[in-house]
């Protein structure tokens, strides 16, 4: 039997449902799930901060999934064998538009604002209207969505690469030109990472893998326990910010003083106005900033665009990452060049409580569901 944890409606506790294990889709497969990451995006959908048109219920969340290949469709073409460990690449695509042929996840036919209008058959496993990994057996429509997990990479780490890991990889890639420029001109670059949760911990490791000691990484958060984890995983300096907006001047100087100057690049993982404004104020002219954290649009006040223009700042939005970057990240972990964030194992029965902790910011590192 397939045991799945379902979101039955916005805001409500998730409920268990059991059903027979389905046959694999003709060109797809069934994955016996071993691990699934609990992501902040799960909270956003649960709390209706992703306002999807025609959202269906019940739906199984969990878009960071790893497991073993359980069954393969009779029309599937793959080098994988039943029993192989695999990670699910969350985003399917049309394979024809400009973004898809360039291996990007931002398929215009897949994004929430277009999904139910243009091509409802295109799926994002574990988000919106497609079941994901909070179940024992996951069906994928096309076996090309499955990637073999390298031998030295545990499955509870591999699952996290499918969203959080490649999001961090994408963020660092976006600001890499500014980091390279600072290293070439000054011999060293200063990088600020605002929000020291699980994705930021990936970013710390990836940054160190790319640049080594030529980059000073400043991890920033309002919680000291998260900063302790960031320090353990490779942050050079940490800064604990006060939450009060009126303390912004002091918060900005904390970053500048601890880094030895204004930062050349930064990433905001929080989606909060105060955090972004502080990061901008702590950045040098012509700095590059990547935006990862999602927020409600009505909570964001008008931005001081003129100031940003005069400062010559570059902003980059980050939405997940490509299948190519997933392969690259798995290889870096397999080679021992990147370590995972702090991981806390939970059961399916603990997902409701875990989502509450993620929502309130109490969850440090990353929570991973273990089926066994």
CATH code of 226's domain: 3.40.50.720
**pTM (2 d.p.):** 0.92
Q: How far is it, in rounded angstroms, from Cα 240 to Cα 27?
A: 50
- pLDDT per residue as tens, the chain (372 positions): 999 999 999 999 999 999 999 999 999 999 999 999 999 999 999 998 876 767 889 999 999 999 999 999 999 999 999 999 999 999 887 778 888 888 776 676 665 544 443 444 457 899 878 899 999 999 999 999 999 999 999 999 999 999 999 999 999 999 999 999 999 999 999 999 999 999 999 999 999 999 999 999 999 999 999 999 999 999 999 999 999 999 999 999 999 999 999 999 999 999 888 999 999 999 999 999 999 998 766 666 677 889 899 999 999 999 889 999 999 999 999 999 999 998 999 999 999 999 999 999 889 889 999 997
Q: Are strands 283-291 and 263-268 parallel, antiparallel or unpaired?
A: parallel
Of 317, 342, 358, the domain-final residue:
317
65 and 40 share a domain? yes
pLDDT at 114: 43
pLDDT at 350: 98
| Alpha-carbon distances, residue 44 vs 13, 69, 106, 137 (angstroms) | 14, 30, 19, 24
Q: Smallest Cα–Cα separation from 27: which of 116, 128, 144, 125?
A: 144
217 and 310 share a domain? yes
91 and 120 share a domain? yes
Q: Smallest Cα–Cα separation from 311: which of 256, 267, 241, 263?
A: 263
89 and 106 share a domain? yes
Q: How far is it, in rounded angstroms, from Cα 84 to Cα 74?
A: 17
Q: How far is it, in rounded angstroms, from Cα 139 to Cα 336?
A: 31
344 and 272 share a domain? no
pLDDT at 110: 61
pLDDT at 109: 67
Q: How far is it, in rounded angstroms, from Cα 200 to Cα 368?
A: 16
197 and 225 share a domain? yes
DSSP letters, 223-266, are -HHHHHHHHHHT-SEEEE--S-GGGHHHHHHHHHHHHTS-EEEE
The helix, strand and coil proportions of the chain, stated in percent and rounded to the nearest 5, come to 35, 25, 40
The first and second tokens of residue 262, run together, are 């204004």
21 and 93 share a domain? yes
| Alpha-carbon distances, residue 225 vs 85, 292, 362, 363, 365 (angstroms) | 33, 22, 10, 10, 10
Of 275, 295, 317, the domain-final residue:
317
CATH number at 124 reads 3.90.180.10
What residue numbers bound the domain in which 362 lies? 2-162+321-370
Q: How far is it, in rounded angstroms, from Cα 361 to Cα 197?
A: 9
225 and 153 share a domain? no
154 and 232 share a domain? no
H-run or E-run covering 69: strand 65-72
* Domains in the chain, number: 2
92 and 184 share a domain? no
158 and 34 share a domain? yes
pLDDT at 103: 76
Q: Is the dihedral of CA 172, 103, 53, 128 positive or negative?
A: negative
78 and 194 share a domain? no
């Amino acid at each position: 039997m397939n045991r799945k944890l379902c979101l039955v409606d916005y805001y409500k506790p998730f409920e268990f449902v059991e059903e027979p294990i389905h046959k694999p889709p003709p060109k797809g497969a069934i994955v016996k799930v071993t691990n699934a990451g609990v992501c902040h995006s799960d909270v956003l959908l649960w709390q209706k901060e992703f306002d999807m048109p025609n959202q269906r219920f019940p739906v199984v969340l969990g878009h960071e999934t790893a497991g073993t290949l359980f069954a393969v469709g009779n029309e599937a073409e793959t080098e994988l064998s039943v029993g192989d460990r695999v990670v699910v690449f969350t985003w399917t695509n049309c394979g024809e538009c400009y973004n898809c042929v360039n291996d990007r996840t931002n398929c215009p036919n897949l994004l929430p604002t277009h999904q139910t209008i243009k091509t409802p058959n295109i799926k994002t496993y574990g988000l919106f209207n497609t079941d994901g990994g909070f179940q024992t057996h996951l069906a994928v429509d096309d076996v090309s969505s499955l990637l073999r997990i390298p031998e030295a990479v545990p499955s509870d780490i591999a699952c996290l690469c499918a969203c959080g890991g490649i999001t961090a990889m994408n963020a660092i890639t976006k600001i890499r030109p500014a980091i390279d420029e600072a290293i070439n001109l000054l011999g060293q670059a200063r990088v600020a990472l605002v929000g020291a949760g699980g994705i930021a911990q990936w970013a710390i490791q990836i940054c160190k893998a790319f640049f080594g000691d030529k980059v000073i990484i400043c991890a920033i958060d309002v919680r000291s326990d998260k900063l302790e984890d960031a320090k353990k995983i490779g942050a050079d300096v940490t800064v604990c910010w006060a939450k009060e907006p009126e303390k912004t001047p002091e918060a900005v100087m904390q970053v500048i003083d601890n880094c030895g100057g204004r930062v050349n690049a930064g990433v905001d993982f929080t989606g909060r106005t105060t955090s972004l404004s502080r990061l901008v104020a702590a950045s040098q002219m012509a700095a590059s900033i990547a935006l990862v954290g999602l927020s409600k649009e009505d909570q964001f006040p008008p931005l001081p665009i003129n100031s940003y223009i005069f400062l010559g700042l570059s902003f980059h939005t980050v939405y997940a990452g490509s299948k190519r970057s997933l392969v690259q990240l798995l290889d870096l972990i397999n080679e021992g060049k990147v370590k995972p964030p702090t991981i806390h194992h939970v059961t399916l029965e603990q997902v409701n409580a875990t989502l509450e902790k993620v929502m309130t910011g109490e969850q440090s590192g990353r929570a991973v569901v273990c089926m066994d």
